[in-house]
């Protein structure tokens, strides 16, 4: 990289502040502005020496890129406004609230020749990339079972947009899981979902039980909940998010014809000798490998800066994958509402998680 990338951050909420920390720590970034409409938040952060502005119109003109960390329904208008200014965009996940909006943003970025990355930052962990290799060791994928269950603090839902369609554990949390599945096994082609709001009583779901079919014929199931307390979730397993207590417990189990893999530890079971792998013979346990510990948001922002120079990146989430993750996330919501399986291609472009 030749010089630090002049970048602004739009939205100084919970994830925006983590991006601010990464931007101020990274030599690859020169933070030109933080856009935050809320006057008190703005004043508090200005007091810490941050370059706060109230509107995207007040961002210094030498800015070349931005991180969009606003509520999900705002991702599309703000990303379009940023692309219109000629900025490269790293937009938080999901890429947008609807497929129509996601495609409009992707089209605009492509027309302008500007990078558009979506913040599926888990890809930036070394063990996520290593999981692809480990999966080759267990033979063709047969099935996968995941359990993501963390009880969010009740005040999390004091923020109005988080109680409405566009938020909820499907849009907010499952979208990461679907992107991970895509990295591991390709995108599911069909989903059947049961959703429930019984625990919190909000308009959006708090819990969902999902069954997936992959193109290869492999199947998967997932229970996701932000009401049920448990040690089983990506963030608890990996300690990647300082706001979430670590547990170190695996939360996904994957089976193949030749063995099995637990994620994220990558503990693997495989043949204990020559000959057929079958149920009378014990499986040999291969203990979890170790990986360098990274902050995935820091790796993501550094790779984003680098790809403005190089024009390419094979780890970060490009528009096609981001739209695919959104499609299957919305498919789960649609399946829950209609109580029928939903296949790829069946989610209406305007669907945002509620039937109108
Ligand atoms: N990758 C990850 O690990 C995570 C990603 N996310 C994603 O990030 C997004 C934001 O979530 P979260 O941080 O929890 O949300 P918050 O509500 O905590 O923060 C959003 C911030 O954006 C501000 N804002 C709203 N509209 C605009 C606008 N048009 N321009 C500038 N600022 C605006 C809000 O101000 P005000 O309060 O005044 O409305 C608020 O400060 C979501 O899409 C979510 O899915 C969230 C958490 C983790
Ligand atoms: O994107 C996300 C949404 O919220 C979670 C809890 O704050 C994060 O850990 C996650 O990465």
Instruction: Please tell me if the CB atom of residue 118 comes closer than 6 angstroms to any atom of ligand 2.
Output: no
Handedness of CA 96, 90, 187, 239 (dihedral sign): negative
123-294+326-338 and 5-118 share a CATH fold: no
- Cα 37 to Cα 350: distance, rounded to the nearest angstrom: 27
Measured distance CA(318)–CA(304) in Å, rounded: 11
State the distance from the centre of ligand 1 to the C-alpha of 144, rounded, in angstroms. 32
Distance 280 CA to ligand 2 centre (A): 42
For residues 331 and 192, give the distance between their C-alpha atoms in angstroms, rounded to a whole number: 8
Residues 178-211 pLDDT 10s: 999 999 889 999 999 999 999 999 999 999 999 9
The encoded tokens of residue 93 equal 């996940």
Count of residues for the chain?
356
State yes or no: cis peptide before 324, omega within 30 of 0. Answer: no
Angle between helices 319-338 and 99-112 (to 10 degrees): 170
Per-residue model confidence as pLDDT tens digits over 265-298:
999 999 999 999 999 999 999 999 999 999 999 9
pLDDT over 70, % of the chain: 99
Given a cut of 80, whether residue 100 has pLDDT beyond it is yes
CA of 344 to the centre of ligand 1 (A): 28
CA atoms within 13 A on the CB side of 268: 20
Element (H, E) at 129: helix 126-137
**Taking 80 as the threshold, does the pLDDT of residue 166 lie above it?**
no
Residue 171 alpha carbon, nearest atom of ligand 1: 45
Chain-wide mean pLDDT for the chain? 96
Measured from the Cβ of residue 43, the count of other Cβ atoms closer than 10 Å reads: 11
Mean pLDDT value across residues 27-52: 98
How close is the Cα of 14 to the center of ligand 1, in Å? Answer: 7
pLDDT tens-digit profile of 319-344?
A: 999 999 999 999 999 999 999 999 99
Give the pLDDT of residue 185: 86
Q: Is it the case that residue 79 has pLDDT exceeding 60?
A: yes
Is residue 259 scored above 70 in pLDDT? yes
Quick one: pLDDT at residue 353? 87
Is the peptide bond preceding residue 94 cis, with omega within 30 degrees of 0? yes
Would you state the pLDDT for residue 268? 98
54-77: average pLDDT:
98
The model's confidence at residue 309, banded by pLDDT at 50, 70 and 90, is: confident
State residue 2's pLDDT score. Answer: 67
Kindly state the average pLDDT of the residues 223-232.
Answer: 98
Contact 143, 219 (CB under 8 A): yes
Which atom of ligand 1 lies at the shortest distance from residue 176's CA? 1
Residue 258 has pLDDT above 60, yes or no: yes
CB distance 26 to ligand 2 below 6 Å: no
User: What are the residues whose beta carbons fall under 8 Å from the beta carbon of 80, sequence distance 6 or more?
Assistant: 104, 105, 108
Q: Which CATH architecture has domain 123-294+326-338?
A: 2-Layer Sandwich (3.30)
Which of 235, 244, 246, 295 should be mutated for ligand 2, with most atoms under 8 A from CB? 235
Per-residue pLDDT, 165: 83
What residues does each domain of the chain span? 5-118, 123-294+326-338
Pick the CATH number of 5-118 from 3.90.1820.10, 2.40.160.40, 3.40.50.1390, 3.40.50.720: 3.40.50.720
Residue 355 has pLDDT above 80, yes or no: no
* pLDDT at 311 > cutoff 90: no
| Residue 175 beta carbon below 6 angstroms from any ligand 2 atom | no
């Amino acid at each position: 990289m030749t010089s630090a990338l002049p970048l602004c951050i739009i939205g100084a909420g919970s994830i925006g502040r983590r991006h601010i920390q990464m931007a101020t720590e990274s030599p690859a970034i020169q933070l030109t502005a933080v856009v935050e409409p809320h006057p008190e938040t703005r004043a508090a952060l200005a007091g810490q020496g941050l370059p706060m502005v109230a509107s995207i119109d007040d961002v210094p003109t030498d800015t070349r890129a931005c991180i969009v960390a606003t509520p999900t329904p705002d991702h599309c208008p703000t990303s379009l406004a940023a692309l219109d200014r000629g900025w490269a965009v790293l937009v938080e996940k999901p890429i947008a609230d609807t497929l129509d909006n996601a495609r409009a943003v992707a089209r605009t970025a492509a027309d302008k020749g500007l990078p558009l990355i979506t913040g599926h930052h888990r890809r930036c962990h070394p063990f996520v990339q290593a999981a692809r290799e480990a999966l080759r060791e267990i033979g063709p994928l047969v099935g996968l079972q995941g359990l993501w269950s963390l009880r969010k603090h009740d005040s999390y839902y004091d923020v109005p947009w988080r109680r409405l369609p566009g938020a909820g554990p499907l849009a907010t949390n499952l979208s990461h899981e679907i992107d991970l599945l895509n990295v591991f096994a390709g995108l599911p082609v069909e989903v059947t979902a049961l959703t429930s709001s019984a625990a919190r009583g909000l308009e959006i779901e708090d819990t969902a039980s999902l069954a997936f079919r992959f193109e290869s014929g492999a199947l998967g199931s997932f229970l996701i909940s932000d009401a049920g307390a448990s040690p089983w979730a990506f963030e608890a397993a990996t300690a990647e998010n300082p706001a979430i207590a670590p547990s170190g417990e695996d939360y996904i189990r994957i089976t193949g014809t030749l063995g099995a893999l637990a994620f994220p530890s990558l503990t693997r079971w495989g043949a204990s000798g020559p000959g057929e792998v079958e149920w009378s013979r014990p499986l040999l346990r291969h203990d979890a490998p170790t990986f360098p510990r990274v902050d995935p948001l820091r790796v993501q922002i550094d790779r984003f800066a680098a790809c403005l120079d190089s024009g390419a990146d094979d780890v970060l989430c490009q528009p096609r994958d981001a739209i695919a993750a959104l499609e299957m996330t919305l498919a789960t919501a649609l399946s829950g509402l209609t109580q029928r399986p939903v296949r790829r291609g069946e989610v209406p472009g305007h669907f945002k998680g509620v039937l109108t």
